[in-house]
Structures are given as structure tokens and as C-alpha cells.
Amino acid sequence: MRDWRFWLAGQRGALLAFAIFVVMFTIYCANHPAGFSVNVVETAANKGVLLAFVAMAQSFVVITAGIDLSVGMIFTLTNCLASALVIGSPLSAGLGVIAVLAAGALCGAINGLIVIYGRLQPIVATIASGAVFFGLALALRPTPGGGVEETLADAFTGRLFDTIPASLVTLVAVAALVWIPFRRSVTGRAAYAVGSSEPAAYMSGVPIRRAKFVAYTLSGLLAGFGGLFLTFFTYTGDAAYASGNTYTLFSIAAVVLGGVSLFGGSGSAIGAIFGALAFRTIGDLLFVFDFDPLWQPLFQGVVLLLAVSISAFGLLRVRNRLDWFG
Amino acid sequence: MSLAVKNARPSLWRRLDPAVATAFGCIVLLLFVGSLYSRNFLSPEYLLQQLKVASFLGVIASGMMLAILIGQIDLSLPWVVTVGAMMSCAIGGHGTWGSLLAAPVGILCGIAIGLVNGVGVAYLRIPSMIITLATNAVAQGLMVVYTGGFSPRDSASPVMRYIATGFAIPGLPNAVLCWALVGAVTVILLTRTTFGRAIYGIGNRERAAYLSGVNTRAIVVVVFALSGGASAFGGVLLAGYASKAAQSMGDAYLLPAIAAVVLGGTSILGGKGTYLGTVAGVLLITLLQSILSVMQIPEFGRQIIYGVVIIGMLLLYGRERLLR
């Protein structure tokens, strides 16, 4: 009984995000002209999965009390790489996929090394490394272009058994293969410990460096998955500064919505996924209500503002005023 | 040796922050590299032109520095800059009074957004990274609705153009004068007032500042309002310079502003930093951008060099202490 309550308390953020997502998605489907059909779900899934990958990537780093402002640029860089490498025969396309994911992981690892051994603050280090990643993407694709092996792309963006969106299945598979082993390993626990209190973790002999390095590397890998999927959807590579920046900013919003604390040490990548899906659905709500698309950015901004303000209710429970200052 | 000598202020050399010294050293190095490339780099005209370009970033970075000093960050900068520019241009079209009031109204809009940020951070205790992101999105949404998604047709008023491009003192562009004014106010605030003391106190430990009787929450609100006002003022200057406002004109200023403040030796965790360092950071970033574009390095190369230089400089002097 107590175990169950403990688990529930730990997953409160993720469950809240899941609830918001279900409510929003129900409203979305109820008002969509096509209703709750396979097509609607597939389109929504394909849009949501991109942000979900990037938000998962962000959550790994945020759990260690860091932040990765280059995550959108890794996403853009891997998108451009995939548009050049995932082509040709099945073998070369397959090798291309591996190369793209490895490049994403490498970008994350570089961030990790700068933060760990350079001892720079993650926020400034990743701003600067993001500029480098974007420069590389721009060198690769000065203008939008390139291509992708279309059968492979369609297989990942289509449906399984004509009902389940394949992108959603991939997302679940990646979450199961990357997040769950990480969460259950010593390294994963060390990442939470580092996020809660780095000096305390150090004093307890927790492998701080390994935890941070793995978190940053996996973050890069997941951003690479996002970039790969973007290529699968669009068939092109595009080094767009605005889009990369938007994904970085939205990933932070999604992570917070999904119950991952920006101060580190709590939350999960699963919460980040639901945060991302909820955030995307909120953004799309306007379309089904036939509003002028011009109002979409304002609507999304106001919803974000309200969503982050909800956390202020926690202040009512504070007994000691000093707890205001965290 | 008498006691009086011992108690005297440490010599200038001792007081010099190594970070600020390194930043100024890098500026000299950049000018040297530039002068190897072309003699024009050391001409007064070129240097004055660079100072003028730097003054826009300088005004904007002043606000960002205050936010970083209290241990927060203001990511709403891009669209606050744009709001300042667009609103002042919109008012500027309404006759003489509109022309005169254009700049103050633009700045007031920035202060209003800053107040929302400040209340969110200080009273609702929302992490500044999130609340400023949200107000940035709201400001963008408002401007998209207002302009219909296009560049607005209003142009900058004559007064705005004079503030940004005129010469009140012969030989010295007004934009530089504005930066000097903003800089002087910031320096006085930071070094000569209790408000400045409180800013450093909050940046070091808000809890301790609160227990010492500082109204920390009010100060945080004021700091964000000032940051918003400075960003909007930067937007007004930019609009006057380009004689119109444009969508997402502020996007190019967020990263340089943060980089300039941090390269100037201000700790991103707050509580430590001098305005002289920010001036050095702003000049450094502006010169770097200028030299890269004069050398006609393509955009991708500029981005890569820009990122590598920032990381390299921070590795020189921005490292944290080893955990022991």
C-alpha cells in the first residue's frame, strides 16, 4: 500500500500531463470534422512524436539539474545529415540511420565533455555548442534539399496493421529501450542524485561524471531520433534557425508541463513525452475550432503562461516563508 | 609600515578582475588580427562605426546583466525588443505628440512585459527560464495578431531616427550616447545604491538577503521591469536605425546578449560581475561579428567560429571550481 502511494507521488507530474493530454485530445477529436479516426490519430501522432523525442532528450539533461539549449540544433543537424545519408540501397540507408543516430549521440557527448571537464555552466556551454551545431547543419544544407529513402520513411510514418501509427510504436520502443534501462541502472540513479544535490552525491561516492556523460550522450541520441523522424516526414533536410530554436524552447515547456523539475532530481522522460503530446494538442486545438491561424501563437503563449502559473498553487502549502526561495 | 597604508584600498592591479582583463586582452588581440587583414581596422571611422553598432547590443545587454546578476535569466528578450520597436513605430505615426511619445511608449511596453516576468518569478516563484519563455510567446502572439504576420507598414518617427542616428555632439553618434547614459545609470545603480547591494545579495543567496531585511521580491520585480525596459529601448533604437520594425528582429540579440554578459566575467549563477566586464563582452562580440563578416566568411563558418570562440574564452576564465 505504501509502495503504491510512494510511486504515485513520484509520478504525479507525469500523470497530470497524461490527464491534460487525454482531456485535450478528447476535445480535439470531438470537434474535429473527421472525429476519432485513424487518420486524425496518425497525423496528430506524427506531429507529436517529433516534439516528444526532443522533450525526452531535454529531460535526460534536466534531471541532472542541467539544461541543453542546443537540443533543437542537434535536431536540425541530424535532420540535415539524414537527408544526405539515409539514401540508396537498404544497406546504405540502414548504415545512414546508424550514422545519423551516432552523430546525434556524439553531439550530446561533446556537450557532456564540455560541461564535465570544461566545468562550464550547461546553459552557456550549450548555447555556444548550439551555434556550432547549427553552423555544421548550414554547411551541409545551405538551402533546403536532399532526400531520403522513401520506402523506409513511409514505413516509419505510416501505420502498423492499418490502425496503429508506426511513429508512435517507435516512440514507445525507444522509450522502453533507452529510458527504462537508464532509469533502472546505477548510472540513472546517479543522474537523479546529481540533480538533487551534486555535493551530496559526490560525498556519497556516486559516479557523477559517468552519470552526467551518459545523460548528455543519450540526450543527443534522442535528439538524433527526432531529427531522423523529421527527415522521414518532410523528405528533406533544412537548416532552419527558427525551427531549431522553437524546438529547444518547446522542449523546455514540454518538460516542465510533464512534471520534470528544472532544478533537477525529479520527473521522468515518460512525463516529458506526455508533456510534449499535451503541448502539441493544445497548439492544434485552435485549428479544429476554426479560429484564424493568426491567433495560434497568442493562444499557445497564453496557455503556456497559465500552465506554468499553475505550479504557483504549491506556494499555498508552504508553511515556512523561507521555503519560497527554494 | 603604518596601519593606514595597510587599510588603503588595494591597488588598481589587485582590484582588476582577471576575467575583465582577459576580455579586454582578447579585444586587443582581435583588433590586431583584424589590422593584419586590413589597415582600415584601426581607423577612427571604423572603430566609431563599431561602437555605434555595439551600442544597440550594449543597451540590451545592460538589462540582461541585471537579470543574470540576481541569478535569473530573461529569455523574453527577442520579442520584447520587437514589441518596443513595433509599438514605438505604431505610436510614431500619430502627429507631433506621437512622434515625441514614440520612444517612451515603446519602453513602457517593455517595462510592462518585464513586470509580468518579475511578478511570475518573485511572487509565483516560477523559474525565470520558463516564465520569460511564456511571456516571450505571448508577446510574439500579440505582435502576430497586431501585424497580421507581416512587417508593419509604420515607419520610425523622426525623433526615433534622431535618437538612433543623429549627432547631438558632433562626431559622436547619439546611439553611443544612449548606451553611455544607460551604462552610467546601471553603474550608479549597482555601485552607489542599496538597490545595487540588494541585487548582488539576492544573486548570492536570496534567502540570506531576505533574512537581512531586504524586500527581495520587490527588487526582483524591479530588476525584470528594468530588463524589459532596456530590451525595449534597444528595440526603439534598432527601429530608429533601420527606420522601421520587422518580425523577429530581436531573435539575433538573445544569444549575443547572454554571451556578452557571461564573457564579461558575470557569473551565470548570479551575484558576481561588473558593468565594465559587460562593456568588454559587448565590444568583443561586436568586433568578432564584424571581423568575421569583413573577412567574408560564409554564414556557417561564422556560426562555428562564434561558438568555438565563446567556449574557448569561457574555458580560459569562466570555469567553476572543482567539486571537493
Q: For chain B, give the number of residues.
A: 324
10 Å Cβ neighbour count for A186? 11
Which amino acid does the sequence have at A218? L
In a domain, B296, yes or no: no
Per mean pLDDT, which range of A220-234, B28-42, B145-159, B165-179 is the poorest? B145-159
Domain hosting B119: range is 51-251
Domains in chain A: boundaries: 40-283
Range list of β-strands (E), chain A: 159-160, 164-165
Residue A203 with chain B: CB contacts under 8 Å? none
pLDDT of residue A92: 83
Query: Does the beta-carbon distance from A263 to B308 stay under 8 Å?
Result: no
Give the total number of structural domains in chain B.
1
* CA A71/CA A83 separation, integer angstroms: 18
Residue percentage of chain A with pLDDT more than 70: 97
In a domain, B197, yes or no: yes
Q: Indicate if the pLDDT at residue B320 is higher than 60.
A: yes
Q: Which of A119, A136, A138 sits opposite B319 (nearest CB)?
A: A119
Query: pLDDT tens digits, residue range A13-61?
Result: 788 888 888 888 888 877 777 776 777 777 778 888 999 999 999 999 9
* CA A311/CA B270 separation, integer angstroms: 24
SS3 A37: coil
Name the closest residue on chain B to residue A296, using Cα atoms: B141
Q: Indicate if the pLDDT at residue B2 is higher than 50.
A: no
pLDDT of residue B81: 95
Q: Which of B134, B314, B322 sits opposite A120 (nearest CB)?
A: B314
Q: Closest by alpha carbon to A227, among A44, A76, A49?
A: A76
Q: Indicate if the pLDDT at residue A146 is higher than 50.
A: yes
Name the closest residue on chain A to residue B148, using Cα atoms: A294
Chains A, B: CB contacts within 8 A come to 167
**Helices A71-85 & A38-63, crossing angle to 10 degrees?**
120
In a domain, B258, yes or no: no
Q: Which residue has the higher pLDDT, A88 or A311?
A: A88
Q: Does A198 touch chain B (CB under 8 A)?
A: yes
Query: Does the beta-carbon distance from A135 to B303 stay under 8 Å?
Result: yes
Q: Is A188 exposed, middle or buried (0-12, 13-18, 19+ CB in 10 A)?
A: buried
pLDDT of residue B203: 92
Q: For chain A, give the number of residues.
A: 326
Q: Are strands A164-165 and A159-160 parallel, antiparallel or unpaired?
A: antiparallel
Segment 4-43 of chain A within 8 Å of chain B by CB:
none
* CA B292/CA B307 separation, integer angstroms: 13
Mean pLDDT on A299-320: 76
Global pTM value: 0.87
pLDDT of residue B4: 47
pLDDT of residue B118: 95
Radius of gyration of chain B (CA): 20
| Residue A15: partners with Cβ closer than 8 Å, 6 or more residues away | A8, A259
In a domain, B215, yes or no: yes
10 Å Cβ neighbour count for A104? 31
DSSP A144: S
In a domain, B67, yes or no: yes
